[in-house]
Each structure stands twice: as C-alpha cells, then as structure tokens.
Amino acid sequence: MKKFMNEPSAAVDDYVVGLVGAHREILEWDAGSRVLQRREVPLRPKVGLVGGGGSGCEPTHSGFVGYGMLDAAAPGQIFTSPVPNQIVAATRRAESGKGVLHIIKNFTGEVMNFGMAQEILYFEDIEVAQVVVNDDVSIPDDGETAGRRGLGATVLVEKIAGAAAEEGRELSDVLALAQKVVSRSGTFAVGLSSCTPPARGKPVYQLADNEMDLGIGISGEPGRERVPLESAQEIARLMVDEVLSDLSPHEGAELLMLVNGMGATPHHELYLLAGELAAAAEARGTRVIRQLVGNFVTSLDQAGAAVTFLELDQELTRLWDAPVQTAVLRWGR
C-alpha cells in the first residue's frame, strides 16, 4: 500500500483539517463533536440539511456542505457510519427555525444510527424528517435483502433539496422534493479494481486484468457478477440498459446524467465514458439535458465508474440550476 498519510487511524481527521484549511470561506470543523458545518449563517430561517456516512467516499458528504446544499455533515471513520451523537450535534447546528432534513444512504449502519439520533432529538424542540436514498438498481428490490443501496442520487437529492431549502420552503415541501428525486433516479456501477482501506493495507479482493465487476457498492463491496472486460461503448450500453430498464422513463424524457468515478479513474476515461453513456441513453429515446462528470461518490482508490440518471421535470431542472457554493460544486452565485 502506498498512500499519502500519517497514521491510518488519523486519516479522516487529517483529511478534514486539510479540507477546511482549503475552504475556510465555506466550512468550519468542530473537532469535539466531529461535525463539519457551513460557515455562512443563513440570513433567514430555513430548513437545515444534514448528511453523513462513512469516510472514504469523499467528496460525499463533506464536499457538499455550503450554500445550496448541506448545512452540516457528520463524517464517520472509513466505511463506517457516524455515531448517533455526531448526527445529533450536526442536527443542532443545522437547525435555524424550520426543522432539519436527514439525508440517509440506505446502508444498515447509517439507517440505524440516524434513526437513533432522531429518537434522541424527539425530546428537543427540533422537527426532524428523514429521506432514505436507495437508487442502486443492481440490487433486486424484492424484500430478500436490506434494500437498494444509496449511491449517486445522494448528490442529486442534496443539491435539489438544498436549493428548495434556500428558497425558504417548509420542511414538508423539502422532504417531498427529496423523495421525488429518489423515486425518479437510478444508479449502476462497474468496478475495474478493488480498493485498499488504510487500516487493512491491502485490496479488499482481487480482480483479474481482463475482468470487470458489475454492481459494485461504495464501501469496498464486490459486485453481483464478474464478466469479461468490454469496450467503453459496450460498458455504457450495459449501464444505460440497467438503469433505464428499471426507471422506464417516458419517450422523450429529459434526463440529468451523473457520471461518477470511484476514485481512481482518470477524467479522460470518465468523459470518454460520458460520451458513450449519453449516446446510449439517447438511442433509447431519451434526452440528456444536464450532465455532471467527475468523482463525487467514491470508494477510496477504486477504479471504476457509475452512472446515475434522474428523470427531470421543469421544477427539478430549475432547482438543479439554482446557485450553489460548496467545496466541490459551485455555480450561479
């Protein structure tokens, strides 16, 4: 293992120190409660947004704290959910008078710990709502598993719900929008390698040079099937078929496409794949009218990529285009 780090046990804290140092105008870090929060205080009461999850998936959620997205984030240790007390502290810091929305990826630890935090907060004067993101179409939604994992749609929920919160909408409205994004989104991921958690010091599993892993997660989990490596064009067709067959958008539907690297895939390859994905989506009778390409929901140093499609309408498009200022996403302000 070769990584830029000090002690593996301090990797998360050292990362946060560097992140906040580079974006002091946006972020603050409370080391005692282990909460990242938005430095800019809202000018009027608004719904607060809180995200959190295992580190190693950066820039989710830490890179999306700021105007137009999250008000606070609780980063756990590598691939480990934040503890309930962290989430409680983040919620208190995000509250400005209109309640707080918890955005939760559908992983067992995160669902459990956010649920425990909500129970603790029940006795405080903070209205809390939750949305669970479960956009991973590689997992059957048949009741035989813990359900579909939360992947790239998490970023879309945070952006669109964040824009609605900045408009001053009520908690029930922001929650309904977040749920709408989840219901209209789907993600499929392909791995070309495993990842190497710092404390482990070696890859989680081995993948041959001529293989690809279909349906990977974001915590080092292997996919559902290993198959021979194909061309970018064929991989794109497979990914689009998986997502759009599940979503069943109407003919001529306008889509937002998120092409997400898993941490070790170069931008050259991500943009090459994005071109093939857009062409494959349009060959199925849809129109890709918004794109976001880069590393947004990663799995440490894993090679691979995921595609997320969101079927847009006029309201969702407007909220996506609304101003945002975070460490990672910045436009229109």
Sequential pLDDT tens for the chain (333 residues): 899 999 999 999 999 999 999 999 999 999 999 999 999 988 899 999 999 999 999 999 999 999 999 999 999 999 999 999 999 999 999 999 999 999 999 999 999 999 999 999 998 989 999 999 999 999 887 666 778 999 999 999 999 999 999 999 999 999 999 999 999 999 999 999 999 999 899 999 999 999 999 999 999 999 999 999 999 999 999 999 999 999 999 999 999 999 999 999 999 999 999 999 999 999 999 999 999 999 999 999 999 999 999 999 999 999 999 999 999 999 997
Q: Phi and psi at residue 147, in whole multiples of 5°?
A: 105, 175
pLDDT of 227: 97
pLDDT of 191: 98
Q: What burial class does residue 55 get, using C-beta atoms within 10 Å of its C-beta: 0-12 exposed, 13-18 middle, 19+ buried?
A: buried
Q: What burial class does residue 44 get, using C-beta atoms within 10 Å of its C-beta: 0-12 exposed, 13-18 middle, 19+ buried?
A: exposed
pLDDT of 333: 75
Burial string for 90-103 (b: 16+ CB within 10 Å, else e) reads bbbbbbbebbbbbb
Give the total residue count for the chain.
333
Q: Where are the alpha helices (DSSP H) in the chain?
A: 11-22, 84-94, 108-121, 153-166, 171-183, 232-247, 267-283, 314-321
